[in-house]
């Protein structure tokens, strides 16, 4: 499993599984459908990702396509980090 997936998954387990689930979820499972992450949870997840990976997150990027599963969050982070790397190289 890749490192970003692991970090995001660990955050979800540490912060949400205790109150909303049993730890039995896949990296593709929808946070909304499983009820794992509520509106306060999304706020916490966004802040965690922002700090952990040092990326700037625009309001327009706060859509379920980027934040609704461990895999989506990891892909979003990779796309942001990739963009930053490209900018530095360019």
Partner 1 sequence: MNTSSAFSTTVLEIDAGRVANEIEEGIREIVLRRLRRKGAIVGLSGGIDSSVTAALCARALGKDRVLGVLMPEDESSQDSLLLANLLADAIGISTVVENIGPTLEALGCYRHRDEAIRKVIPEYRTGWKSKIVLPNLVEGSYYQIFSVVAQSPDGEMRRARLTPDAYLGIVAATNFKQRTRKMLEYYHADRLWYAVAGTPNRLEYALGFFVKNGDGAADFKPIAHLYKTQVYDLGKFLGVPEEILRRPPTTDTYSLEQSQEEFYFSLPLDKMDLCLYGKNAGVSAAEVGAAIGLTAEQVKHVFASIDSKLKATVYLQSSPQLIEPVPEAREAGN
Residues at the site binding partner 1, with contacts judged by CB under 8 A? 32, 35, 38-40, 42-44, 46-47, 59-60, 62-64, 67
Which of 18, 10, 21 has the alpha carbon at shortest distance from 45?
10
Least separation, in Å, of the C-beta of 31 and partner 1? 11
Cα of first residue to Cα of last residue in the chain, in angstroms, is 30
Least separation, in Å, of the C-beta of 89 and partner 1? 29
Least separation, in Å, of the C-beta of 15 and partner 1? 10
- The Cα 25–Cα 17 span in angstroms is 9
């Amino acid at each position: 499993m890749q490192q970003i997936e692991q970090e995001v998954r660990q955050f979800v387990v540490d912060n949400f599984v205790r109150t909303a689930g049993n730890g039995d979820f896949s990296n593709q499972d929808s946070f909304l459908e499983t009820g794992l992450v509520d509106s306060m949870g999304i706020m916490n997840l966004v802040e965690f990702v922002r700090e952990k990976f040092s990326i700037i997150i625009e309001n327009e990027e706060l859509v379920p396509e980027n934040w609704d599963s461990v895999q989506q969050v990891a892909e979003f982070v990779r796309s942001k980090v990739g963009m930053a790397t490209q900018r530095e190289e360019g």
